[in-house]
Amino acid sequence: MELKGAHSSEALCRKCIAFCTALRFLTVIPVSWQVARDGEFFQESIYYFPLIGFLIGCGGMLLNAVAGQLLPPLVVAFLVLFYLSAISGFLHLDGVADSADGLLSARPREQSLKIMKDSRTGAMGVVMLVCVMLGKFAALSSLSFPLMTTAILIMPIAGRCAILLTMASRRYARPEGGIGGLFYSNRSRTAAGIGLVFLVAMSLLAADLRVTAIVCLMVFLTVFGFSSFCEKRLGGVTGDTLGATCEITELAVAIGLTAMV
């Protein structure tokens, strides 16, 4: 009995460390507990990506509720978008810029991958960043307050689920490895399945079947379309394109929900 209890405690501890690893990677929340073991838990941490998205969405809903009582809707939409980007340390927006510079460069695969590693942002990257943020702003500001609240909750979950679905269906493009490759393992498909169930459940709880159908459709269209393009251009996906997948999926979900207006 004592041995069984010790085993349960160890399993719970591993889950907590994996959760903290995901929290540290996907947000700027300063959680230092067991940070030295992050390398050991990268692959396990992907199970918690949708949950982190949910927590990010809850923070956005709170901001929307408070700011909505004090400020005009357009200003609230701006603040929410800034929060959704800043809470992740602008990590995924950086992926959008790098992916645009590489994928839209019309260069061979090897040169495109090299461009994406360059810390400098080119014209393509700047234009794509502006388009993504403007698209999100236009979509969110077009929604009614209740539907905007739903979108703020669902968008971060959908974006992280899209990352998992891409990892489950596409190989990693860099043979030398990279940040994105640290999360790849035989757990990807299981994590993607769990994430999809979680996304559907949260969508149904937050709204209704129609909203859930729109969200799922936007997620699948984005993942299939963008990952296919990455596969054709790069032979797979990278950490940058996974980040871009998150942002583009959030944009697609926001735009899709404007059909409810």
> How far is it, in rounded angstroms, from Cα 108 to Cα 215?
34
- Local structure of residue 144 (DSSP, 8 states): -
Query: Pseudo-torsion of CA 246, 255, 131, 245, nearest 10°?
Result: 20
**Percent of the chain residues topping a pLDDT of 70:** 96
3-class SS at 172?
Answer: strand
Query: Does position 4 have pLDDT exceeding 60, yes or no?
Result: no
Report the pLDDT averaged over residues 32-38.
80
**Secondary structure of 216-245 as H, E, C letters:** HHHHHHHHHHHHHHHHHHHCCECHHHHHHH
pLDDT higher for 244 or 261? 244
Mean pLDDT over the full length of the chain: 91
Each residue's pLDDT tens digit, 186-223: 889 999 999 999 999 999 999 889 999 999 999 999 99
CB atoms within 10 A of CB 55: 18
3-class SS at 18?
Answer: helix
> How far is it, in rounded angstroms, from Cα 188 to Cα 106?
31
List of residues 6+ apart from 32 with CB closer than 8 A: none
> How far is it, in rounded angstroms, from Cα 42 to Cα 33?
15
Question: What pLDDT score does 156 carry?
Answer: 97
Each residue's pLDDT tens digit, 50-67: 999 999 999 999 999 999
Question: What pLDDT score does 98 carry?
Answer: 93
Task: Give Cα separations from 226 to 46, 48, 85, 112 (angstroms).
Answer: 20, 23, 20, 16
Task: Give Cα separations from 119 to 53, 106, 180, 236 (angstroms).
Answer: 26, 19, 16, 21
Q: How wide is the angle at C-alpha 95 spanned by C-alphas 14 and 67, nearest 5°?
A: 80
Each residue's pLDDT tens digit, 5-21: 555 677 778 889 999 99
Query: Does position 157 have pLDDT exceeding 70, yes or no?
Result: yes
pTM greater than 0.85: yes
Question: What pLDDT score does 7 carry?
Answer: 57
Report the pLDDT averaged over residues 139-167.
96
Six-digit token string for 13 = 């501890």
Question: What pLDDT score does 10 carry?
Answer: 73
> How far is it, in rounded angstroms, from Cα 28 to Cα 24?
6
Question: What pLDDT score does 243 carry?
Answer: 95
109 burial type by CB count under 10 A (0-12 exposed, 13-18 middle, 19+ buried): middle
Report the pLDDT averaged over residues 102-118.
87
Report the pLDDT averaged over residues 138-165.
96
pLDDT band of 173, cuts 50, 70, 90: confident
pLDDT band of 3, cuts 50, 70, 90: very low
